[in-house]
Amino acid sequence: MTDDQMNTILTRLEDSDENITEFGPSWSQGRAAFGGLVGAFASLSMRKLIKEQKPIRSFMASFIAPTPAGPIKTKAYIQREGKSVTQCSSSVFSKEGNLCLQAMGVFGSSRETLNVQPHNDFNPIPRNDGIRFSEAKRFPQFLENYDGCWVGPGIPGSGASETLTMWVKHRCNMSEYPAESILAIADMPPPVLLSHFKDRTVPASSVTWSVEFLIEPDSFAHDWFYLEFKMDGAKDGYTQQSGRIFTEDGELCALTRQCMVYFG
């Protein structure tokens, strides 16, 4: 592993009293960094503020500007701290001092309540039947940091499909950062809208992004995750999509939603 692996980048941020870390161009997604990495910066900087460790329950972010490779700095604040729930905010800045991402995080301790488990129709296509990231062409550079494969018809540039499914695994050990691991995975899929085009180079980027955790991130030990995303709508240059993230054994661990802009 190189020192540009996600766990190493996050460790530098965790150990920094000034909340500074840096990353290289291997995390590029066009002219910007992979949004899941930037979201992980915001999440970790908020978790550093919480004295009694409360698991993350919800994460909401706005992508303000592209985050170029190089040093970054985060600033995090506790907005309100209650007995069960703590709400925080975090900002991520580029080396030039530009605001790149603004996030809110909700952290909450567990308590005895009604437990309702959602019904999951978990029936994924096996990984061996998919197209591995390493075999795909003309895809973002940051995918080099992951093992995974596209399964089903929703690969960008494939034609018309309103769903996208994929298997994903970090190439580095993310056991010390389970919340950030899930957040980064949640931002992996491109706009499902791109499956409707034959040209994969249609410009698109996220505007807002939210992730809700159904289980505590550190309550399971899985490397592989199965992602199932669908397009909810597209009009006037904007598209909305939602997704479900499962552990390898079929446990639904997170829900996510994004609003994206595209120029096609």
Quickly state the pLDDT bin for 167 (edges 50, 70, 90): very high
Tell the residue number behind the tokens 């996220």, with chain if given: 206
pLDDT in tens, 129-140: 888 888 876 778
Q: Backbone phi, then psi, for 46, in 5-degree steps?
A: -75, -40
Break the chain into its structural domains and give their ranges: 6-109+125-262
Say which residues have a Cβ less than 8 Å from residue 155's Cβ, sequence separation at least 6: 131, 136, 164, 195
Q: Is the pLDDT of residue 1 over 50?
A: no
CB 138 within 8 A of CB 200: yes
CB 257 within 8 A of CB 192: no
Q: What is the pLDDT of residue 160?
A: 64
251's tokens: 């446990």
Alpha carbon of 38 to those of 168, 183, 188, 230: distances in Å? 18, 10, 12, 23
Q: Is the pLDDT of residue 153 over 90?
A: no
Q: Is the pLDDT of residue 146 over 70?
A: yes
Helix (H, G, I), strand (E, B) or coil at 196: helix
Q: What is the pLDDT of residue 161?
A: 73
* CATH class of the structural domain 6-109+125-262: mainly beta
